[in-house]
Structure 1
């Protein structure tokens, strides 16, 4: 079943700041989410009970947090360049904060 992917307005601003090749890779992952409803490793990974991450590696490492809302909708919550091995807690908290708007 196809999914509807929504880009949070703040995530949209983050997306626009990314380099073109990184944007293209995220768009490819979003298309896979729309068609398949999920991303398999190494393209995606479950982070916690509510959040999943889309994974992009082009020169640097980038992540996009998303969540499933309602029946057939997925919301992209936060996009960022990952600079450390472990995902910073502030990025997780920000994604959870944005998710509350959609619950």
Structure 2
């Protein structure tokens, strides 16, 4: 029984301990800015920050590949800053469940 508990606890620590915590949600403010305008600007900046990526692995005649999109944090931050936003601990944030992962 002790061995099972030890294995279960070790497995739990390995799966949770290896995953880095998610990055903090960026909050943005703009003088006289409204939340609706922030959402429109955020959407436009996310579209600008999308980048296609592809990866392939080949070894001994066998391989695999994958492709997808990532959102460039640098482009997203620059885009929002160009629209007059600054990061602020009391600023606007994404709607619930709409946080994006950036590179």
TM range (shorter): under 0.3
- TM-score when scaled to structure 2? 0.26
| Higher RCO (CA 8 Å, separation ≥ 6 residues) | 2
